[in-house]
Copies of this chain bind each other. A is one copy, B any other.
Amino acid sequence: MTEAFVLDPRLQADGDIAIDLSLCQVILVNNIEFPWVILVPKIPNLTEITDLNEQDSMLLMQEIRLISKVFLELFKPAKLNIAALGNKVAQLHIHIIARFKDDQAWPQPAFGLARKNYPKDEYSLMIEQIRSALCKK
């Protein structure tokens, strides 16, 4: 019996699944301070990037680049921050965060700061914007 992929509940608590790509679920982090998504490959028991087979690792790079392009176009950030950390939640997940010179953490990393939820309508609108930009790719 093939083991099913189950999203770690701590990642699930970060926000809704905004997009479902071939390899990854893409969660929009519910934090109005930064445009921030988390890509989670839908394969069970992954911790490190080396746990992916080579083909899936290439697909991961493609999906990171795809979401990066959407973020660069939509938000025009000073820099994207892309990171696979996982010290707290071991399930392999990749952060993509749009950073701005006037954001609350610049030039430090955005991890570990207090988060502030979007107003509900604004969160839905963000998901729609990201989906719509993605459809044009």
Contacts and interface: CB of A to CB of B under 8 A. Distances in A.
Contact of A112 (B83, B84, B108): B108
A87 B112 CA distance: 17
A85 B83 contact: yes
Interface string A25-51: 000000000000000000000011110
A87 B107 contact: yes
Contacts of A48: 68, 72, 79-80
Main secondary structure of the interface of A (DSSP, over half): mixed
Contact of A85 (B61, B72, B79, B86): B79
A60 B58 CA distance: 10
A82 B84 contact: yes
Nearest to A78: B87
A93 to B, nearest CB: 12
- Complex A-B, nearest 4 residue pairs according to Cβ-Cβ distance, in ascending order: A83-B83, A87-B107, A61-B61, A82-B84
